[in-house]
Amino acid sequence: MDKLIRDAHQIIDAAISAVKPDLLIRRRVKLKDSHLHIGREKFRLSDFEKIFIIGAGKASAFMAREMEELLGQHLFYGVVSVKYGYSAPCRKIRILEAGHPVIDKNSLTATRDILEVAQQAGEKDLVLCLLSGGGSALLEQIPPNFSLPELQKVFELLLGCGANIEEINTVRKHLSLVKGGQLARAIAPATCASIILSDVIGDPLESIASGPTAPDSTTFQDAWQVIEKYQLPDKLPATIRQYLLSGVNGNLPETLKTDDPIFNRVHNIILGSNSESLKAAAKKAGGLGYNTLVLSSRIQGEAREVAKVLAGLVQEIQQNNVPVKKPACLLMGGETTVTLKGKGKGGRNQELTLAALLAMKNIRKKYLIASVGTDGSDGPTDAAGGMVHPGIWEQANSLGLNPLDYLQKNNAYPFLEKTGGLIKTGPTGTNVMDVIFALVR
């Protein structure tokens, strides 16, 4: 098992390193021939009097540091909002820390300062907007109709009911004055170029960080349908319920749509995604001697159900060498969800691995199943995720631990902590959802 564990850590390191903001920016953002090249987009520097940087997300401080280094004297000023502990040293860009996954007062304060920068940019200026996962909580301006504690209550309900990120963001956009393209309105008439690390399945621009600079196809009606789907209407604060229903009835302005002329001067550019992380992980696994297969970068659904499917595939490989021959590395990415029924400690990745351990039952053939958040943060814990293998069963038995009891209470963290299955990377400076894989020998 020691080799499997060592290999797993190398695969995780490769997956995260491939989507580090500094590497991605050095590779895809260039200053050349008096132009700023961002992916396939090109901006002539002489067209702009000033260049500002704003942004929000777990990776945005590290993106800001690299962009500041690249732009040098061309950069005028900037403000970026990041999760507590995810800061990076900058000179011209102020890095402000705020709450995640639930917004706090600092989220609102940081957004106020970001909007001040956006609004001082003129027609002859360029605003670079650095967006990454976590931006939805870190960039927020709320309507005067309700309070911050009431908004926090809504997202605690959404995070605990099993709603996926796109559903959560649909509601977020319709309880905000900055999401759903509304930041682009604040930036206008300046030119806006958003540089984006995607943490959403399929990389939809309108969902990443709740699409502050992208047109929004969702409506108040869609947001209300999410609330009804998870049986939340009676649990919402009355002011929030009234606000959403007022929007449904057409009494509030919608988020910005594709035909809005503001988007004529907006460029949204995906810099990195989960697919790249999986490719790097597969390459590393291949170098370690595994036959690799990437199943999908679009995995979603309940963590426990995904775990059962993955465990079934592992057993199929063990028994029949399909869908890939041993020694095998089976990889997938995306973002699962957890419907909270207990009051334990953990996150979706830890829950997935604990559920996978139970699905593998007492199988002792060599395998390892791991699930890791590329941002280094899994739920409200200091772990990135977890790994399980036959040795975890043995350790649990020796300690008299029943994994089912822990799973039923959504209490994966202490179980994995006691059995040696936690994975801790610390803040990674990036965020492209989760990497889930199995090693079979």
**Same domain as 309, residue 200:** no
Nearest to 12 by CA among 414, 383, 347: 383
**Same domain as 295, residue 181:** no
CA 271 to CA 27: how far, in whole Å?
A: 10
Residue 126 belongs to a domain with what CATH number?
Answer: 3.40.50.10180
Contacts of residue 426, defined as CB under 8 A and 6 or more positions apart, other chains included, come to 376
pTM: 0.90
- For residue 196, tell me if it sits in a domain: yes
**Same domain as 354, residue 212:** no
CA 46 to CA 35: how far, in whole Å?
A: 8
- For residue 170, tell me if it sits in a domain: no
**Same domain as 333, residue 262:** no
CA 330 to CA 123: how far, in whole Å?
A: 50
**Same domain as 189, residue 67:** yes
- For residue 4, tell me if it sits in a domain: no
Residue 426 belongs to a domain with what CATH number?
Answer: 3.40.1480.10
**Same domain as 263, residue 386:** no
- For residue 162, tell me if it sits in a domain: no
- For residue 331, tell me if it sits in a domain: yes
Q: Give pLDDT tens digits along the chain (441 positions).
A: 799 999 999 999 999 999 999 999 999 999 999 999 999 999 999 999 999 999 999 999 999 999 999 999 999 999 999 999 999 999 999 999 999 888 999 999 999 999 999 999 999 999 999 999 899 999 999 999 999 999 999 989 998 898 988 899 999 999 999 999 999 999 999 999 999 999 999 999 999 999 999 999 999 999 999 999 999 999 999 999 999 999 999 999 999 999 999 999 999 999 999 999 999 999 999 999 999 999 999 999 999 999 999 999 999 999 999 999 999 999 999 999 999 999 999 999 999 999 999 999 879 899 999 999 999 999 999 999 999 999 999 999 999 999 999 999 999 999 999 999 999 999 998 999 999 999 999
Residue 98: domain span: 21-141+176-218+255-272
- For residue 127, tell me if it sits in a domain: yes
- For residue 302, tell me if it sits in a domain: yes
Identify the pLDDT of residue 164.
87
What is the number of domains present in the chain?
2
Angle CA(163)–CA(164)–CA(165) in degrees, nearest 5?
Answer: 125
